[in-house]
Amino acid sequence: MNISSTVCALSTPVGTGGIAVIRVSGGSAFPICQKILKNKGKKLSERPSHQAFFSDIIDSTSGELLDQGLILPMKGPGTFTGEDTVEIDCHGGMYICRRILETLVQAGCSMAQPGEFTKRAFLNGKLDLTQAEAIMDMIDAGTRYSLKAASSQLKGRLLLEADELRNELLSMLVDIEVNIDYPEYDDLPEISDDDIQQKSMDINQRIKKLLVTADSGIRLREGLSTAIIGLPNVGKSSLLNRLLREERAIVTNIPGTTRDIVSEMADLQGLPVRLIDTAGIRETGDLVESLGVKRSFDAIEKSDLVLFVSDREFLLEEELKLLQSIGSKTWFFLINKTDTLQHEKASLEAILQKLSEEKLPLPRRVIHISALTGEGIDELTEEIRETFFSEDVLEKDMPLVTNLRQKEALIRASEALDRVTSSAGMPQDLLSIDLHEAADALGDLTGKSARDDVITQIFSRFCLGK
Amino acid sequence: MYQEQGADVAVIGGGHAGCEAALACARLGLKTILFAISLDSIAQMPCNPSIGGTSKGHLVREIDALGGEMGKNIDKTYIQTRMLNTAKGPAVHSLRAQADKFRYKETMKLTLEHTPNLRIRQNEIVKIHTEALEGSEGERKITGVETATGAYYPCRAAIICTGTYLNSRCIHGEYETLTGPNGMQSARGGLTENLASLGLPLRRFKTGTPARVDGKTIDFDKMTVQEGDAHIVPFSFENTADGIRREQKPCYLTYTNEKTHEVIRANLHRSPLYGGVIHGIGPRYCPSIEDKVVRFADKERHQLFLEPEGENTEEYYVQGMSSSLPEDVQRDMLRTIPGLEHVEIMRTGYAIEYDCIDPLFLEETLQIKTIRGLYSAGQFNGSSGYEEAAAQGLVAGINAAMALLEKEPLKIDRTNSYIGVLIDDLCTKGTNEPYRMMTSRAEYRLMLRQDNADLRLTPEGYRVGLISQERYEAFLQKKAMIEKEILRLQQTRALDEEGHSHGLMSDLLKHPENTYESLAAWDQGREPLPEAVWQQAEIQIKYEGYIRREEAAIAHFHKLEKRQIPEDTDFLSIQGLRLEARQKLNAVRPLSVGQASRISGVSPADINVLLVYLARKNSMKEEGEDTK
């Protein structure tokens, strides 16, 4: 991230209201925005801070009128990011937003990376790290369920649970350590080897329960990576449009500005589904043409779910070739009713038979859809929910692991406790190595470090000394 | 003031820190002079009559591996020795010896007297002379020291080891004396004021000691006798068990009871601790008996040990009864204890307050940050304990010598020694109470065993010049033997009486129930080896999995240590850092991210902020270079 640049991004989900807000932040926010505004008033830099005004919004090169809206200039450091900031309230359509962002980029802005405003706010001293993390999660929450995950996080449910587990580990460590450092005391409570084993297993169970929800939790935050593949003209673009329009898409990136493979977030009845390489599908209309093949392989590589679209109930040679690249990924076989639906019926069994013969992976589900009418999309949504989002996570109010850092910390703690179990019979001071490791891992999650805590507790709980 | 013959190094104080510091400097060839307020206080043990114990025993073994004296001196003068924690893993086995206090200090003094390059002088240092350091901003360098009698000794380095003597005050209930420990003269001639005027941040700490009682008036039959070990392990790697074997004296265990606690509670109003007379900060781990009774009110009894003060004395130390209550209360409470019904006190217990420095003001060499050539060690640095003091004295002595000899400072850190943990804790975390070493403070405890202190530190002791060529070669030979035996065990099949193979010896050894000795019958081709050799082979094989992981953790530690923080970093202005973290970082001024991460009050989240800041600063620097 280059903090000296000026960045822009859409700050509201497209279409959730009639108005969208585009935010521009950085040292050149005012002069850049000046280039896309046309009105009779003063220059942006001469206007009072934090006072909105009405203006035409134009294409900076052609002068074409793009939209009209309210412009709010705000001078740093009294802004969220601490930098000069301009907010542009425009109409909420995806096309308009895209055009305005494009012209801002032409005028000298860079597209903001996800969470960049928060990062800037943090780097400019406007937020501390924990606040920043929680806000980033809230911002990233694209859908109803994501928001739920983020707010559970904000309430600190995961942190509370991790802290409690850590305290139990610390208390066990205190019992072990005090006997090591004060062996001559005969009245200290000794913790038995069995106790250590039992408690470690109990704590490990609770960590593993948290981990079960981790993949779903992370998916809620980041969206389920999904690739749409298939031969030309089977209806991939119409499926894409259907998925994005069905519940109104949130554009997280603009093609060609930041990444090679662009993804868009679809909201399927609250489930965040990130469709990979939507640009590829849009630009070329298909992925199997010359350059398209490699792209579809890349998309498969990055995905958790592959939607394989076909418009007939049997498989062509090229399709079999494409399916070879799926490997062990979960895939759904979507049979799309197109206008030119070829009624060359073959039984589903025959298809599965064929796949087995070719030693190709079988689809998790086969779903008949119509990208044009929307038929079967509900069923698709239901299958996605069932396969990828655990019920526990969606409906129950339990602590959620929503990012990789948290997941890794929990795995580290759990592995350390596994080692305590497999090392039964070893002296306690050696078991304490892994108990410390587990406590440290949980401390990484909660932001605390263990060793001083153990020593403090030793002296507050026991009566020791000459 | 008149001029005396100067020295390279002046050591101020002759306690455990001062002795090691002076010996190290003199042995490294520097003209050294040691000042003590009384020569009778050299190597004095004013509190417990023992050396070692959990983690402290480790320190003594490490001092020995680096070429220090404490281990050798206690081996010459112990009257009981025990290995503690033998039921636990090898990392926490801890050696402790009861010392003959009188012989301990007399023997140490004789060693000092017989060391070339070393002069001993009874006198009080009242002033450190300094001059501005050329080419620096506000830094100074030492030029000499001045005694209370008006003598000026020019020197190139000085090491402050004033222990509990500096501006000290002893309190026994209502009765106070302006004395040092054990009735010795206090250092009140102006050194405190002088150090303060040099800008050193001084503070006041407190500690205490129990009464000494007359052994003739103790009924030992009412107590549990505690003998020493038959299997003797010397502290010094240069000694053998047979070489130091001697008759041992027992200690005795007894307990306080409800009556004792009643006496204490009834007299709490006369306690200087609770009456507000004592302002110094006392340690949590050696609370006075009145403290224990107040803080742990529901405890029915507290353990006490009666420990002999020496061979040629009837005096016993009452471990567990440290107190600053008036002496009549001390007498009354002692007499409630089984076996002490008719006890006669010989020396009253007391609390002592003294001046010391905030160790955050020290570099890891133990040099004071603002005065080139001025070092400090021991209780003056906020620690507690003879072993902690000796370890620092050795480090300060070596580093002062290395600086004068223009050689690299001593290479120690948290990954290779308890001494490293001690120094880093003091200089990086600081302390709000007299600091005591504990095994729990060491992150890499399994690597820092008392049995392998020589393997960890002998090469460094040899490099700085305190380990002789002869000893170093013996060490190399031992190391080769250990490696050879490990290799043999990894390649040898265990064969039972009928010649059936049970797999490799090294694999069998990893089972918790097997030991090197228990597998002897199945181990064909085993040659008799010294215990110190096969023991190392056994430990290194048996705990290989844990050792590997600690080694990985150590590698990570070194990685963070290498992430340097520029010396001119303005921590106070780093946005995103919590205010507390900014202040703590600014106080310590860590030189690496690793060091920063150990500062108390700096959280992992703060470290992330610091990493972001450093990365950003680097990238801004690069951007700046790009545009040039």
Q: Would an 8 Å CB–CB cutoff place A177 in contact with chain B?
A: yes
- What's the pLDDT at B59? 98
Q: Average of pLDDT values for A226-230?
A: 86
Spatial CA neighbour of B412 closest among B445, B456, B455, B454: B456
Q: Would an 8 Å CB–CB cutoff place A320 in contact with chain B?
A: no
Spatial CA neighbour of B135 closest among B414, B372, B313, B403: B372
Q: Verify whether the Cβ–Cβ distance A465 to B439 is below 8 Å.
A: no
* Nearest-by-CA chain B residue for A132: B576
- What's the pLDDT at A289? 45
| Min distance B465 CA to chain A CA atoms (Å) | 33
Question: Cα B65 from chain centroid?
Answer: 14
| Min distance B294 CA to chain A CA atoms (Å) | 11
Q: Verify whether the Cβ–Cβ distance B55 to A447 is below 8 Å.
A: no
d(CA A139, CA A151): 11
- What's the pLDDT at A429? 92
Query: What is the DSSP-derived secondary structure letter of residue B217?
Result: G
Q: Verify whether the Cβ–Cβ distance B440 to A444 is below 8 Å.
A: no
Q: pLDDT digits over A54-66, tens only?
A: 999 999 888 888 8
Q: Is the peptide bond before A77 cis (omega within 30 degrees of 0)?
A: yes
| Min distance B608 CA to chain A CA atoms (Å) | 8
d(CA B584, CA B596): 9
Higher-pLDDT residue of A347 and B566 is: B566
Closest CB to A463 among B92, B292, B616: B292
| Min distance A466 CA to chain B CA atoms (Å) | 4
Q: Where are the alpha helices (DSSP H) in A213-277?
A: 214-222, 236-246
Spatial CA neighbour of B18 closest among B343, B304, B389: B389
d(CA B226, CA B280): 35
| Min distance A233 CA to chain B CA atoms (Å) | 47
Q: Verify whether the Cβ–Cβ distance A187 to B92 is below 8 Å.
A: no
- What's the pLDDT at A281? 59
Alpha carbon separation from A48 to A21, A52, B424 (Å, rounded): 20, 9, 54
Q: Verify whether the Cβ–Cβ distance A177 to B608 is below 8 Å.
A: no
Closest CB to B576 among A122, A182, A443: A122
Provide ipTM, 2 decimals.
0.87
Average pLDDT, chain A: 77
Assess contact for A31 and A54: CB atoms under 8 A. Answer: no
d(CA A299, CA A64): 36
| Min distance B591 CA to chain A CA atoms (Å) | 20
- What's the pLDDT at A128? 53
Contacts of A428 in chain B (CB under 8 A): 88-89
Q: Would an 8 Å CB–CB cutoff place A130 in contact with chain B?
A: yes
Contacts of A436 in chain B (CB under 8 A): 443
Domain ranges of chain B: 2-46+103-205+355-437, 212-353, 477-547, 563-627
DSSP string, A171-203: HHHHHHHHHHH-TT-SSSPPPPHHHHHHHHHHH
d(CA B371, CA B157): 10
d(CA A27, CA A322): 48
Q: Residue A285 above 50 pLDDT? A: no
Alpha carbon separation from A243 to A93, A250, A368, A369, A381 (Å, rounded): 17, 11, 15, 12, 10
Q: Look up residue B362 and give its two tokens.
A: 């020290």
Kind and range of the H or E run holding A52: none
Amino acid in the structure at residue A10: L
Q: Which of B58, B260, B285, B543 to mutate: most A Cβ within 10 Å?
A: B285
Spatial CA neighbour of B72 closest among B83, B60, B81: B60
Instruction: Compute the C-alpha angle A344/A346/A352, nearest 5°.
Output: 140
Q: Would an 8 Å CB–CB cutoff place A129 in contact with chain B?
A: yes
- What's the pLDDT at A94? 65
SS3 B611: helix
d(CA A2, CA B498): 74
Q: Where in chain A is the domain with CATH 1.20.120.430?
A: 157-213+401-461
Contacts of A125 in chain B (CB under 8 A): 575-576
d(CA A347, CA A335): 12
d(CA B588, CA B430): 9
- The domain made up of A219-389 has a fold known as Rossmann fold (3.40.50)
* β-bridge mates for residue B96, sequence order: B52, B82
Assess contact for B223 and B340: CB atoms under 8 A. Answer: no
Listed in order, strand segments (DSSP E) in A287-427 are 305-310, 330-336, 365-369
Contacts of B292 in chain A (CB under 8 A): 463, 465
d(CA B9, CA B28): 11
d(CA B360, CA B200): 11
CATH number for the domain running over B2-46+103-205+355-437: 3.50.50.60
- The domain made up of A157-213+401-461 has a fold known as Four Helix Bundle (Hemerythrin (Met), subunit A) (1.20.120)
* Nearest-by-CA chain A residue for B550: A433
Query: What does residue A127 show for φ and ψ, rounded to 5 degrees?
Result: -140, 150
Contacts of B597 in chain A (CB under 8 A): 449
Q: Would an 8 Å CB–CB cutoff place A317 in contact with chain B?
A: no
Amino acid in the structure at residue B396: A
- The domain made up of B477-547 has a fold known as Arc Repressor Mutant, subunit A (1.10.10)
Amino acid in the structure at residue A222: E
Contacts of A127 in chain B (CB under 8 A): 576
| Min distance A447 CA to chain B CA atoms (Å) | 5
| Min distance A175 CA to chain B CA atoms (Å) | 12
Higher-pLDDT residue of A68 and B603 is: A68
| HEC secondary structure over B395-463 | HHHHHHHHHHCCCCCCCCCCCCCHHHHHHHHHHHHCCCCCECCCHHHCCCCCCCCCCCHHHHHHHHHHH
Q: Look up residue A103 and give its two tokens.
A: 């012209």
Amino acid in the structure at residue B305: F
As a whole-number percent, the residues of chain A with pLDDT over 90 amount to 19
Q: pLDDT digits over A5-55, tens only?
A: 888 888 775 444 567 789 999 989 999 999 999 888 888 888 999 888 999
Low-confidence ranges of chain B (pLDDT < 50): 625-628
d(CA A388, CA A303): 12
Higher-pLDDT residue of A177 and A446 is: A177
- The domain made up of B563-627 has a fold known as DNA polymerase; domain 1 (1.10.150)
Contacts of B209 in chain A (CB under 8 A): 466
DSSP string, B461-498: HHHHT-S-HHHHHHHHHHHHHHHHHHHHHHHPEEE-TT
Q: Look up residue A298 and give its two tokens.
A: 């890349």
Q: Would an 8 Å CB–CB cutoff place A192 in contact with chain B?
A: no
SS3 A370: coil
* Nearest-by-CA chain B residue for A177: B440
Q: Verify whether the Cβ–Cβ distance A447 to B604 is below 8 Å.
A: yes
Q: Verify whether the Cβ–Cβ distance A466 to B47 is below 8 Å.
A: yes
- Which string of b and e fits B482-492 if b means at least 16 CB within 10 Å? beebbebbeeb
Closest CB to B600 among A429, A452, A465: A452
d(CA A91, CA A19): 5
Q: Would an 8 Å CB–CB cutoff place A190 in contact with chain B?
A: no
- What's the pLDDT at A261? 46
Q: Verify whether the Cβ–Cβ distance A426 to B89 is below 8 Å.
A: yes
Q: Verify whether the Cβ–Cβ distance A3 to B616 is below 8 Å.
A: yes
Higher-pLDDT residue of B387 and A209 is: B387
Q: pLDDT digits over B288-323, tens only?
A: 898 888 888 888 999 999 999 999 999 999 999 999
Q: pLDDT digits over A124-174, tens only?
A: 766 655 555 555 555 554 555 665 555 555 446 777 888 899 999 999 999
Specify the pairing of strand B345-347 against strand B315-319: unpaired
Spatial CA neighbour of B52 closest among B555, B417, B552, B450: B450
- What's the pLDDT at A80? 82
For residue B135, count other CB atoms closer than 10 A to its CB.
6
Q: Look up residue A71 and give its two tokens.
A: 């412009």
- What's the pLDDT at A249? 36
- What's the pLDDT at A449? 60
d(CA A384, CA A379): 9
* β-bridge mates for residue A86, sequence order: A24, A73
Q: pLDDT digits over B159-178, tens only?
A: 999 999 999 999 998 899 99
| Min distance A456 CA to chain B CA atoms (Å) | 9
Question: Cα A464 from chain centroid?
Answer: 50
DSSP string, B33-100: EEEES-GGGTT---S-SEEE-TTHHHHHHHHHHTT-SHHHHHHHHEEEEEEE-TTS-GGG-EEEEEE-
| Burial of residue A114, with CB atoms counted within 10 A of its CB: 0-12 exposed, 13-18 middle, 19 or more buried | middle
Q: Average of pLDDT values for A374-380?
A: 88
- The domain made up of B212-353 has a fold known as Elongation Factor Tu (Ef-tu); domain 3 (2.40.30)
DSSP string, B493-546: EEE-TT--EEEEHHHHHTSTT--TTTTGGG-TTPPP--HHHHHHHHHHHHTHHH
- What's the pLDDT at A466? 55
CATH number for the domain running over A7-127: 3.30.1360.120
| HEC secondary structure over B247-283 | CCCCEEEEECCHHHHHHHHHCHHHCCCCCCCCCCECC
Q: How many CB pairs under 8 A join A and B?
A: 124
Q: Verify whether the Cβ–Cβ distance A187 to B319 is below 8 Å.
A: no
